[in-house]
Chain A
Amino acid sequence: MNRLTYQNTIIRKTFLALVASSLPLISATSFAQDTLTFSRDIAPIMQRACQQCHNPDGIGPMPLMNFEQVKPFAPLIRDRVTKRIMPPWHADPDIGIQSFKNDASLSNEEIALIRDWVDAGAPEGNPDDLPPAIEIAGGAEWQLGDSMGPPDLIIKSSPYNVIANGQDQWWQPNVPFAGMEGERWLRAAEFKASYPLGKQVVHHGHAVLIPEGEKRQVALARYGVGKSWEIFPEGTGMRVPANGQIAWNLHYFPRGTEVPNDVVEVGLWFYKEGVVPELATSGETMFRVDGLNGMARGQDIVIPPHGYQVLSGTHVLESPAVIHSYRPHLHMRGKVMSMEAIYPDGRKEVLSQVNKYNHNWQISYIFEDDVKPLLPKGTVLQFTSVFDNTVNNPLNPDPEQWVVFGRRGVDEMSHAWVGITYLNEEQYMQASNDRTAAQEVLTIGR
Chain B
Amino acid sequence: MRVPTVIVIVGVLQSSLAQGRCWAKLAIMRRQSVQDDLLSGGLVALKGRSRRAFARSSHLGKIDSAEEQALSLMRITMNICSRLKLSRTVALVPLMAVMLAAPVNGQQIGQSQQIFSANVIKPSGQPIIPLFDGWFPNNDGTNSLCFGYFNLNSEESLDIPLGENNHLSDDRFDALIPTHFEPVPPRYRHKFCVFTVIVPADFGVDEEIIWSLTIDEQTLSVPGRIIPPYVMDEPASGGRGNVAPWVRMSLDGPRGRGRNGIHAESVLSASVGESITIPVWIEHPEKNVWLGWSKHTGPGDVGFMLPEYGIVINNRAPATRATAVASFSEPGDYVIRMQTINTVAAFEFYCCHTNAYFNVSVSP
Given the known interface contacts A167-B231, A299-B184, the answer about A308 and B111 at a Cβ–Cβ threshold of 8 Å is no
Find the residue from B94, B119, B225 having the highest chain A CB count within 10 A: B94
Nearest CB of B to A185, in Å: 33
Whether A391 and B108, one on each chain, are in contact in the complex, defined by CB atoms closer than 8 angstroms, is no
Binds A, one of B129-137, B255-263, B291-299, B313-321: B129-137
Nearest CB of B to A174, in Å: 12
Whether A340 and B112, one on each chain, are in contact in the complex, defined by CB atoms closer than 8 angstroms, is yes
Whether A306 and B94, one on each chain, are in contact in the complex, defined by CB atoms closer than 8 angstroms, is no
Whether B189 and A401, one on each chain, are in contact in the complex, defined by CB atoms closer than 8 angstroms, is no
Task: For A342, give the chain B residue with the smallest CB separation.
Answer: B112
The answer to the question of B326 belonging to the interface, with a C-beta cut-off of 8 Å to chain A, is no
Whether B227 and A302, one on each chain, are in contact in the complex, defined by CB atoms closer than 8 angstroms, is no
The answer to the question of B253 belonging to the interface, with a C-beta cut-off of 8 Å to chain A, is no
Given the known interface contacts A92-B31, A92-B32, A338-B111, the answer about A308 and B222 at a Cβ–Cβ threshold of 8 Å is no
Query: CA A179 – CA B47 in complex, angstroms?
Result: 63
Contact with A82, one of B1, B33, B189 (Cβ below 8 angstroms): B1
Chain A residues, Cβ within 8 Å of B351: 167
Number of interface residues of B (CB under 8 A): 69
Whether B95 and A340, one on each chain, are in contact in the complex, defined by CB atoms closer than 8 angstroms, is no
Task: For A160, give the chain B residue with the smallest CB separation.
Answer: B239
Whether A401 and B40, one on each chain, are in contact in the complex, defined by CB atoms closer than 8 angstroms, is no
The answer to the question of B99 belonging to the interface, with a C-beta cut-off of 8 Å to chain A, is yes
The answer to the question of A422 belonging to the interface, with a C-beta cut-off of 8 Å to chain B, is no
Chain B residues, Cβ within 8 Å of A108: 2
Chain B residues, Cβ within 8 Å of A402: 129-132, 150, 220, 222
Chain A residues, Cβ within 8 Å of B98: 308
Whether B93 and A304, one on each chain, are in contact in the complex, defined by CB atoms closer than 8 angstroms, is yes
The answer to the question of A443 belonging to the interface, with a C-beta cut-off of 8 Å to chain B, is no
Name the prevailing secondary structure of the B interface residues: loop
The answer to the question of A408 belonging to the interface, with a C-beta cut-off of 8 Å to chain B, is yes
Interface residues of B in 78-100 (CB under 8 A from A): 90, 93-99
Nearest CB of B to A380, in Å: 9
The answer to the question of B30 belonging to the interface, with a C-beta cut-off of 8 Å to chain A, is yes
The answer to the question of A200 belonging to the interface, with a C-beta cut-off of 8 Å to chain B, is no
Chain A residues, Cβ within 8 Å of B121: 295, 299-300
Whether A305 and B45, one on each chain, are in contact in the complex, defined by CB atoms closer than 8 angstroms, is yes
Whether B240 and A401, one on each chain, are in contact in the complex, defined by CB atoms closer than 8 angstroms, is no
Whether A398 and B229, one on each chain, are in contact in the complex, defined by CB atoms closer than 8 angstroms, is yes
Given the known interface contacts A336-B31, A342-B112, the answer about A299 and B120 at a Cβ–Cβ threshold of 8 Å is yes
Chain B residues, Cβ within 8 Å of A298: 189, 348
Whether B190 and A304, one on each chain, are in contact in the complex, defined by CB atoms closer than 8 angstroms, is no
Query: CA A310 – CA B229 in complex, angstroms?
Result: 24
Find the residue from B2, B38, B96 having the highest chain A CB count within 10 A: B96
The answer to the question of A293 belonging to the interface, with a C-beta cut-off of 8 Å to chain B, is yes
Chain B proximity mask over A54-73: 1 for CB below 8 Å, otherwise 0: 00000000000000000000
Whether B112 and A167, one on each chain, are in contact in the complex, defined by CB atoms closer than 8 angstroms, is no
How many interface residues does chain A have, given as a range? 35 or more
Interface residues of A in 158-175 (CB under 8 A from B): 160-161, 163, 165-167, 169-172
Task: For A310, give the chain B residue with the smallest CB separation.
Answer: B96
The answer to the question of A384 belonging to the interface, with a C-beta cut-off of 8 Å to chain B, is yes
Chain B residues, Cβ within 8 Å of A311: 95, 116, 118
Given the known interface contacts A95-B108, A404-B189, the answer about A166 and B233 at a Cβ–Cβ threshold of 8 Å is yes
Chain B residues, Cβ within 8 Å of A296: 185-189
Query: CA A163 – CA B150 in complex, angstroms?
Result: 31
Whether A398 and B189, one on each chain, are in contact in the complex, defined by CB atoms closer than 8 angstroms, is no
Query: CA A274 – CA B354 in complex, angstroms?
Result: 55
The answer to the question of A106 belonging to the interface, with a C-beta cut-off of 8 Å to chain B, is no
Can you name 26 A-B pairs with beta carbons within 8 Å? A92-B32, A94-B5, A166-B233, A167-B237, A167-B350, A169-B237, A170-B349, A172-B240, A296-B186, A296-B189, A300-B118, A301-B120, A302-B94, A305-B45, A308-B96, A308-B97, A309-B97, A310-B95, A340-B111, A355-B31, A384-B116, A392-B36, A398-B223, A404-B129, A404-B150, A405-B348
6 further A-B pairs in the complex, CB-CB below 8 A; given A298-B189, A301-B120: A167-B232, A309-B96, A388-B37, A401-B132, A402-B130, A404-B190
The residues of B with any CB-CB pair to A shorter than 8 Å are 1-2, 5, 10, 12, 30-34, 36-38, 40-41, 43-45, 90, 93-99, 108, 110-112, 114, 116, 118-121, 129-132, 134, 150, 152, 184-190, 220, 222-223, 225, 227-233, 237-240, 348-351
Closest 10 CB pairs of A and B: A169-B239, A304-B45, A306-B44, A397-B229, A312-B116, A170-B239, A300-B120, A392-B37, A310-B96, A307-B44
